[in-house]
Amino acid sequence: MERTKLAKRFQGKVAIVTASTLGIGFSIAQRLAFEGASVVISSRKQQNVDEAADKLRAKGIEVLAVVCHVSNAQQRKNLIDKTLQKYGKIDVVVSNAAVNPSVDLILQTPESIIDKLWEINVKSTILLLKDAAPHLKKGSSVVLISSLVAYNPPPTMAMYGVTKTAVLGLTKALASEMAPNTRVNCVVPGLVPTHFVELYTTNDAAREELERKVPIGRLGTTEEMAAATAFLASDDASYITGENLVVSGGMPSRL
């Protein structure tokens, strides 16, 4: 959607988006900013953070760029501290960071990889929100990002899928715990061609096979995931909390 046609639902608000220098995270940060938010972007590498910040600033976006490896306690704290130092508050937190370093079956996955998957995909979200929660006031919003594979983890993404199933449950639990001041919801993307799944989407034959599985007949876009995230984070969703919103072009999801 053109920037000029977008509502300004986040005017005067401050949004933190983790893992936001590429793909879905970058599009979320950009969408929230286009709707008026001051955005705080982060990822593990300084170069990536700087390049993403330059792209956003070139579009007239107010952005704070912070290096944050979400599994690092000091860097998580620094992300919150820097946000408060610059903007004085936090209205929205989008937890988007995730890894998938293995294609092994669960029972063949090394313990170190299992630890890494839980650390990044589940535990880091809990610990980041633990740091952020004291600063989230009435009307604030949290959006977690899961994945369609959470509902039926395929063999090559099994342990990753299980961690994303945990994110669905985490959404429900945190929504209850953080009510009534903070709403907690989750976006569940379907097939979106980002670097995260490029193995499956850069090959034409493989991509066409995937597209045939989608009732709408195409893969999703990062902008569509951002639009769903912006809705859930905004006051338009003021009576929605604890929900997992599937954005998959009609692909089946429920357990």
Rounded-to-integer distance, Cα 253 and Cα 169, Å: 15
List the structure tokens of 28: 């979320």
Is 160 part of the annotated catalytic residue set?
yes
What DSSP string describes 71-136?
Answer: T-HHHHHHHHHHHHHHHS-EEEEEE--------S-GGGS-HHHHHHHHIIIIIHHHHHHHHHGGGE
Residue reference for tokens 């004291």: 134
Q: Which residue in the list 87, 151, 160, 200 is annotated as catalytic?
A: 160
Which amino acid makes up residue 25?
G
Distances (CA, A) of 141 to 52, 168, 172, 181, 245: 24, 16, 14, 8, 15
Specify whether the CB–CB gap between 15 and 39 falls below 8 A: yes
Q: Tell me the CA distances in angstroms from 77 to 84, 150, 181, one per residue in order.
A: 11, 29, 22
* Close Cβ partners of 137 (under 8 Å, ≥ 6 residues apart): 89, 91, 181
Taking a C-beta distance cutoff of 8 angstroms, is the pair 15, 40 a contact?
A: yes
Catalytic residue ranges: 160
